[in-house]
Amino acid sequence: MSQQDRILAHLQAGKKLTRLDSWSELGILECPARISELRSKGWPIQTRMKEVVNRYGETVRVAEWSL
């Protein structure tokens, strides 16, 4: 199964995905590149920016993808 296939299966199951989740759950480090490739193939992947707290207690924004 390719990285694109793993991402699609995850999103088609109704789950959301962030870059950190893609590494820990799917073993994909360059998820934004794979998302871009999927979009160029016509997949309607949505992006939402969400705030999370990093390990230093700082609030940062990360992209969260969904179908």
* 20-65 tens-digit pLDDT: 999 999 999 999 999 999 999 999 999 999 999 999 999 999 999 9
Q: Which two tokens stand for residue 54?
A: 């990093």
Looking from the CA of 36 toward its CB, the CA atoms found within 13 Å total: 5
> CA–CA separation, 58 vs 12, rounded Å?
32
Burial class of residue 17 (count of CB atoms within 10 Å of its CB; 0-12, 13-18, 19+): buried
pTM: 0.88
pLDDT at 2: 96
Residue labelled with tokens 């995905």: 17
Number of C-beta neighbours around residue 15 at 10 A: 13
